[in-house]
Amino acid sequence: MIQIDVSAFILTIIVFIALVGYLNRRLYQPLLAFMDARDAAIKRDEDAANKNLAEVDSEAKEIEDILTKARNEAATVRQDGLSQIEADEAEEIKAKKDSLEDDFSKYLQELEKEKVELKESLKASIPVFRSSIKEKMARI
């Protein structure tokens, strides 16, 4: 049968326990501390990334709001400018139309005046024409 040396068996158990204690202190605890630190760093970085994403989303929304306000303001300014230009042009057109109507009215008055003067001139020269016609008829 197999013979077991008790002193060697106890020595092996003591060496095994001492080796486990030594490895635990020198290898496993630093390794577990490193793994815990790495997990904490990963968690911290993940939280920071999520926070940054949230900030980016809020900044993007704020930028979009600013752009929308700017577009609306630009449209308002543009519309006000167009309205002002249209009002100025309408005023200029009205002034020009009034000026042209005044000029046309003056022209018609001058024309009427010339017509009257021409009629008077012709009436005044009717006796001369009659005498001229009588002379020509007398010659014929």
pLDDT of residue 95: 95
Residue 38 domain-assigned (yes or no): yes
Q: What is the pLDDT averaged over residues 116-135?
A: 87
Confidence of residue 131 (pLDDT cuts 50, 70, 90): confident
pLDDT of residue 122: 86
Q: Is the pLDDT of residue 121 over 70?
A: yes
Residue 66 domain-assigned (yes or no): yes
Residue 139 domain-assigned (yes or no): no
Separation CA 37–CA 43 (nearest Å): 10
Count how many domains the chain has: 1
Residue 57 domain-assigned (yes or no): yes
User: Coil, helix or strand for 3?
Assistant: coil
Residue 111 domain-assigned (yes or no): no
Dump pLDDT digits (tens) for 28-54.
999 999 999 999 999 999 999 999 999
Q: Which residue range(s) make up the domain with 90?
A: 6-106
Residue 45 domain-assigned (yes or no): yes
Dump pLDDT digits (tens) for 61-120.
999 999 999 999 999 999 999 999 999 999 999 999 999 999 999 999 999 999 999 999
